[in-house]
Amino acid sequence: MNSLIACHDCDLIHRIKSLPAKGTANCIRCGAVLYKHKPNSLDRTLAFAMAGLILFILANSFPFLGLRIGAEIRETTLITGIYELYVQGMQVIAILVLLTTVLVPFIQMMCLFYILMPLKFGRLPQKLPWVLRFLRNLQPWSMVEVFMVGILVSVVKLAKMAEIIPGISLYSFLALIFVLTAMTVSLDAHLIWQKWDENR
């Protein structure tokens, strides 16, 4: 049964064939991507997750925008923005922002460490199936790249009111977007399941 796969968009059964380097297998009926060959998938994903964690810490430790009116400068980190919302009685929105820009990306990286670190040293993490499934369910809720567009819009909105000072963490946010996207794209879940089946 492991040599077959059903298309997730139209349920058509396909035989799994080995792909050439960087090849993609598409469903012959609806065109959905069934699986891809991703070179060095696990090493790459682990590397991106590590880089992502460093950038994540930077992005959340320093202010990403500052505002100068006269002599007064006001700076904000992501957490202070969320805190302000919470204090103003917008708890639901505060939690939504906290989840989509801080918690979910962080948990995603942690899940990947849990799965990939032991695999790197030839061991299988015990809760691998559960964690990999959880990781997949989290995917739609990670929105760092959308947050970046939010920063751009805010800058334009405030530009007339006061002078905008870009903070250090603005650059780490920018880099974090690319690293998190690369991390998600380079992960080959199919390969991990294969390793799980072989070693159990």
Partner 1 sequence: MTSDLKTAQKAGLISCHSCHLLCQSANGATDMLCPRCEAHLHDRKPNSIARTWALVLGALFFYIPANVLPITIVVSLGKSQSETIMSSVIYFVKSGMWPIALVIFVASVFVPLLKLLILIFLLIGVQRKSNWRRQDRTRLYRITEVIGRWSMVDIFVVTILVALVHLGGLVTIHAGPGAIFFGAVVVITIFAAMSFDPRLIWDAEETIHE
List of residues contacting partner 1 (CB under 8 A): 1-2, 4-6, 8-13, 29-32, 65, 67, 69, 72, 74, 76, 80-82, 84-85, 88, 90, 92-94, 96-97, 100-101, 129-130, 132-133, 136-137, 140-141, 143, 146-147, 149-154, 156-158, 161, 189-190, 193, 196-197
- Give least dist CB 43 to partner 1, A: 22
Q: How far apart are the C-alpha atoms of 74 and 66, rounded to whole Å?
A: 5
DSSP 62-98: S-SEEEEETTEEEEE-HHHHHHHHHHTT-HHHHHHHH
103/189 with CB nearer partner 1: 189
Smallest gap, in angstroms, from Cβ of residue 50 to partner 1?
25
Shortest reach from residue 168's CB to partner 1, in Å: 16
Comparison of 47 and 196: residue with beta carbon closer to partner 1: 196
Tell me how far, at minimum, the Cβ of 124 lies from partner 1, in Å.
13
CB of 133 to partner 1, least distance (A): 5
The kind and range of the H/E element at 65 are strand 65-69
- Residue pair 115/172 in contact (Cβ under 8 Å)? The answer is no
Return the C-alpha torsion angle 135, 136, 137, 139, nearest 10: 90
CA dist 37 and 25 (Å) reads 9
Question: At 26, is the secondary structure helix, strand, or coil?
Answer: strand
- Give Cα 180 distance to the centre of its chain: 4
Whose Cβ is closer to partner 1: residue 14's or residue 47's?
14
Closest to partner 1 by CB, 37 vs 190, is 190
What token pair was written down for 2?
């492991």
